[in-house]
Structure 1
């Protein structure tokens, strides 16, 4: 969404699955604020976020990654109300962007990640891994757009989304978008949505694990993929623990 004085509608592709009622509560001022972050040439910057709460929350980041630099964003979204993390990334020559995110929760909240990754120069890479776990009437969304400019040869970009629905009323949406003008690139995306592996749960139960512990272990393994690229153990455990605490409080 551009910085305007009007609220978005479903005609705006990036807001198509959003909770527009919650957006209206925030108003234009509540969704207009954006944090601008620049990663200097050759440097590395990591951002770890826990987003969401008891009221609607929209967090918007514009990340500019210099030549040969690396920008990393890892996030857990477990709010009780509408939660949106929006990231716009512009990559310099030979730069890298890494994103790992988890949306998790129940109720009727919408939790979403929206990313726009602009490969404007040659030899840049990006990797995005999103895991979504929901129950009740909750929804997890990932809208990921990759733009590759004509001069951005040797681009290597990937997106991977997997959704896990623990109850029949929950849903997950993945909208990968590719806009490619260069001809020597690698761009890939994948999206799957399913339920817990009942065979694995039965296997654990047969070996004495309680249903609650079996579910926790399976979900932990599922969402752990999103944080494989995070080499800070303390931050990785913090993001995982927030997600698993949301699961435990559900009493499924």
Structure 2
């Protein structure tokens, strides 16, 4: 656990890819401050986060507790600040569900990251996390996702999916999925891939009359859309996608 009297260092697993120098622009109280969210049994909480300030450091830490049968949906576009971090710790009671969809984007030497810890504390809960990262220049996108399943949390169904898209040499994406499972009747899955645009798909689209720029934009849009597929508000989906594509600008 982070010592509340000192700044984080990269020796700590949850901060291994972070911009720890940028954190020193914040005071320790801000770094160690968590926003508490409690969702009572049977209720639903949805929240959308955007990181769009021009520079500086943007750190947000949430601790979410879900009651029996409660649902929490969090969606985020991290495309601002020199260093931006959203950290979420969620504890699920029986039959609760946690949904997270996030996108990181950035060029230059920016670092944007999502860090999650999902604690399945009781049986029959579900969680799903979908993260997409698109970076260029020397930009970096990180996803550190830990899933804990306690001994009595039978019939847990938990999944994480991370994909990184690097538009230029020098950009990077890091994924650290972790599973700590102590129950024996569970379904837990995680996947992580990092690559470049599918040239075969671009060729296919060009052969049907689309310009290279348009083909590239459509492929990136489809790539990002996965993160918001669980959001059942189409207008909000479109708004988040347009925000992301605006940030991409000439990078695609």
Alignment correspondent of 2:39: 39
1:12 aligns with 2:33: no
Aligned-partner SS, 1:146: strand
Alpha-carbon separation, structure 2, partners of 1:108 and 1:36: 31
Structure 2, gaps ≥5 residues long: none
1:30 aligns with 2:2: no
What count of residue pairs does the alignment treat as equivalent? Answer: 251
Alignment correspondent of 2:49: 49
Alignment correspondent of 1:220: 221
CA shift, 1:4, in A, is 1.0
Structure 1 moving runs of 4+ over 6 Å: none
Alignment correspondent of 1:244: 245
**1:52-201 pair list within 5 angstroms:** 52-53=52-53, 54-201=55-202
Aligned-partner SS, 1:89: strand
CA shift, 1:66, in A, is 0.7
CA shift, 1:211, in A, is 2.5
> Structure 1's 6 and 205: CA in aligned 2 closer, same or farther, altered over 3 A?
same
CA shift, 1:170, in A, is 0.4
CA shift, 1:2, in A, is 4.2
1:82–1:109 contact (8 Å) kept in structure 2? yes
CA shift, 1:3, in A, is 6.8
Aligned-partner SS, 1:26: coil
Alpha-carbon separation, structure 2, partners of 1:2 and 1:105: 27
Aligned-partner SS, 1:25: coil
1:48–1:235 contact (8 Å) kept in structure 2? no
Aligned-partner SS, 2:243: helix
What TM-score do you get using the length of structure 1 for normalisation? 0.96
CA offset digits 1:198-238 (Å, max 9, x no partner)? 12212222333232222111000001011010001222112
